[in-house]
Amino acid sequence: MENKKTNPKKKQGKSLTKRITGWLHLWFGLVSGIIVLTVTLSGTVFVFCDEIVDLCAGTAKYIQAPAHAKKMSPEELLVQFHQQVPDRKAFYFDTYREADRTFRVASATKPPKDKNTEKAEKPKGKGRGPRGVFAYHYLDPYTGKVMGSTKSYEFFYVVAHIHAQLLAGKFGKTVVGVASIIFFIQLISGLILWWPKKWNKTTRTTAFKIKSGTKWRRKNYDFHNVFGFYSLLPAVFITITGLVMAYKILTDLTQAAFGGVADAHKIAEKYEPKYDPDKKALSFSDFIDRSFKEIPRANQVRMSVPRKDSATVYNVVAAKFIGLKSIVDGKSKEVNKYTGDEINYPKEVLMHEVIEHMNFDLHVGYWGGMFGKIFTFIIGIICTSLPVTGCLIWWGRRNKSGKKGNEIKNIHQHRKESHHEQLV
């Protein structure tokens, strides 16, 4: 008698959990891929906005300081600026402790005047209406001459709004919010799919290393899996901080959890001085001199230029470095324009600002200086690549399945033809 061969155990397939997770991971990724790619890429570009702005300024940042010369006052420099660039309106300026640094003015194009309406209509082909197009101008602090300008401010303003709302207002903000939630689910489902069924030497190598000497499809699969795992925790953290900014309910919960208050701006108004036309405001120079004395390490002071004379509060920032949205080793405060004193806001209002700035710094990588920026930039590049490598995996499997299907059809057709020949 012939010995019966025992059938080997059938290779167990994926569990139901992994099959469902894989299906969700695939289709969520395909649906949200282009939006996630746009959001992550724009956010990654924004990380180094300050360095790029300074690079675009070029030689306009510095001048040859004349000996024994005195800098013009900010008021005089702003008058010079508006005379030379009459189509723009300044909304803040930066002045520096160094004698050879130029005076920087942030401005926007003026909206067209319309006596019939309170708000100006958006001019065709001239920016975004009332806010206008942003730019930086650099003035010689001793003569008031404009030394150069750059619209890098406008570029990063657009990049930030692509990141937050795809330049589509409230609808775009909703789309980005939903895509961010999907991306969060993608990260968690990706971890489930990445997790090996059994841990051994082979699975550890596959899970943590990119195999060398493989074809591009396998290399792409390894990139998606391995880099996706290594970037998981920081990517989740960046996504959560982004969601906190995107959804008011999460913003309010975060504020409440850390001692802030949701309606801080409304509360703050009650503590601000009332406008008195008979009172004279202090000069900008008074605030600048006081700020440099209070913070000896500060190299830069930024002051807001109020839109109306009725404004009674100035925002003053003194720090070692002040960027578009970053403050390095310094302080931002609201001051009484009549006395120069800091507004005595309640603790929860001050905490609101601290939490808001901290969440933003954590989101864009400003938490750790240059290291934090580089780290966040690398994570951003990986997150931007995930929709691309994921789509290539799907496309490769789809084509592979199509080829296999054609091969099976050819085999069946060959068998039919052979069987027909035998009958004949």
The per-residue pLDDT for 399 is 73
- Of residues 416 and 132, more confidence is placed in 132
User: Of 125-129, 206-210, 372-376, which one has max mean pLDDT?
Assistant: 372-376
Handedness of CA 42, 46, 52, 57 (dihedral sign): positive
Least confident stretch, 103-112, 169-178, 272-281 = 103-112
Beta strands 313-322 and 327-336, pairing class: antiparallel
Token digits of residue 385: 């690549």
Token digits of residue 336: 């009484």
Number of domains observed in the structure of the chain: 1
Is 70 domain-assigned? yes
Is 77 domain-assigned? yes
Is 401 domain-assigned? no
Banded model confidence at residue 396, pLDDT cuts 50, 70, 90: confident
Q: CA-CA distance, 156 to 150, in Å (whole number)?
A: 12
Mean pLDDT taken over the chain: 88
The per-residue pLDDT for 113 is 62
Reported as a single tens digit per residue, the pLDDT across 346-390 is 999 999 999 999 999 999 999 999 999 999 999 999 999 999 999
> 24: closest CA among 183, 236, 239?
183
Is 211 domain-assigned? no
Which CA distances in Å does 207 have to 139, 198, 308?
Answer: 56, 11, 60
The per-residue pLDDT for 118 is 46
Say yes or no to pLDDT of 10 above 50.
no
- Domain ranges, residue 46: 21-112+126-165
Is 194 domain-assigned? no
> 181: closest CA among 121, 134, 244?
244
- Of residues 332 and 9, more confidence is placed in 332
Q: What is the mean pLDDT of residues 44-49?
A: 97
Q: What is the mean pLDDT of residues 212-223?
A: 90
Token digits of residue 5: 């061969």
Q: CA-CA distance, 93 to 78, in Å (whole number)?
A: 9
The per-residue pLDDT for 398 is 80
> 135: closest CA among 122, 156, 149?
149
Is 136 domain-assigned? yes
pTM check: above 0.95: no
Is 106 domain-assigned? yes
Banded model confidence at residue 17, pLDDT cuts 50, 70, 90: confident
Helix (H) / strand (E) containing 20: helix 16-46
**Percentage of residues in the chain having pLDDT higher than 90:** 76
Banded model confidence at residue 244, pLDDT cuts 50, 70, 90: very high
Reported as a single tens digit per residue, the pLDDT across 176-197 is 999 999 999 999 999 999 999 8
Which CA distances in Å does 205 have to 12, 194, 208, 226?
Answer: 22, 12, 6, 10
Nearest-Å Rg of the Cα atoms of the chain is 30
Q: What is the dihedral of CA 322, 327, 331, 336, to 10 degrees?
A: 60
Is 33 domain-assigned? yes
Q: CA-CA distance, 54 to 30, in Å (whole number)?
A: 38
> 87: closest CA among 52, 42, 132?
132
The per-residue pLDDT for 402 is 55
Which CA distances in Å does 170 have to 65, 132, 246, 414?
Answer: 48, 19, 11, 60
* Residues forming a β-bridge with 316: 303, 333
Reported as a single tens digit per residue, the pLDDT across 264-303 is 999 999 999 999 999 999 999 999 999 999 999 999 999 9
